[in-house]
Amino acid sequence: METLLDEKQLRDGVRRMARDITDHYQDRPLTIIGILTGSVVLLADMIRLLEMPLRVGVLQARSYHGATTTRGELVINDELMPDIQNREVLLVDDIFDTGYTLREVISRIKKLNPSSVLSAVLLHKEDRCEVEMAPDFVGFHIPDKFVVGYGLDYEDEYRNLPYLAALEEADLKTQ
């Protein structure tokens, strides 16, 4: 594995993104929705840096299943999400890759009538984007590599790494 971002770089990037979010929302109440499971580490670190009134919820959205590295059908489970009607909502996700997941989650969230919906992602792979949108808050722009650590996984492993690493081709099982 190749280390792309070490612990200090991640900490500094999350702080910078939290400052940008604070500057945008100021003291307005905010509902943060973490997209499971990859955002858990980012969500925990970020909410401790935000000072506005917060509500926190989660939803699960997956389009990668098992050992595959190609996108499949998106499945969204929002049963653990709080009521967001007339609330300002910030969706927090680990990575913006092709953009399909975040675009679909935003579309579904808007049907619940929040007053606003913005997005924050730890990582943005600009060269992979296939949709007409971009996240509102970004921690880091990264190259097109399969990354793990700091909440991101491969076959449910590596989420606990305190740094971000790129797996080598030999580490990836192909289908």
Task: Please list the active-site residues.
Answer: 97
**175, two tokens:** 């289908």
Within 10 angstroms of residue 167's Cβ, the number of other Cβ atoms is: 17
CA 102 and chain centroid, separation: 9
Q: What is the helix (H) or strand (E) element at residue 10, kind and residue range?
A: helix 7-25
**How far apart, in Å, are the Cα atoms of 56 and each of 27, 31, 66, 88?**
16, 6, 28, 12
Characterize the bridge pairing of strands 147-148 and 164-166: antiparallel
Give the HSE-up count for residue 123: Cα atoms under 13 Å, Cβ half-sphere.
29
**66, two tokens:** 């098992």
Q: What is d(CA 72, CA 63) in angstroms, rounded to the nearest whole number?
A: 5
The closest alpha carbon to 119, from 96, 97, 100, belongs to: 96
